[in-house]
Amino acid sequence: MHAAAFGYRSLLGPEVEVIPMVVIHGRSTSVGSCSISAHGVHMRTARDAMERIGDAMAGSIDLGQDNPAVRVALLSKLKTG
């Protein structure tokens, strides 16, 4: 996975952020304190992954991570149930 991420970074250029991520989904899931591998692969719960993606989207349209209205609007578009 980290090799593929490296390839995408090389292909897309330094202005594009590529984050390899393993998403764990379930009612009682959690990720321990070691959530990033030595190669930079992130392990996140589905909820944390969606929050990270939402923050990245909000940041890309210059609305900032700390805007609760943006987060609510983005989360309302997700089917999480």
- Does residue 25 fall inside a structural domain? yes
pLDDT given at position 59: 72
Q: What is the pTM of this model?
A: 0.53
More confident residue, 9 or 42: 9
- Does residue 81 fall inside a structural domain? no
pLDDT given at position 23: 84
Residue 36 has pLDDT above 80, yes or no: no
- Does residue 71 fall inside a structural domain? yes
pLDDT given at position 76: 74
Write out the residue range of the structural domain in which residue 63 sits.
2-76
**Predicted confidence (pLDDT) per residue in 50-65, tens digit:** 888 877 777 776 655 5
Q: How many domains does the chain have?
A: 1
Cα→Cα distances 2→19, 39, 43, 58, 67, Å: 9, 6, 12, 25, 31
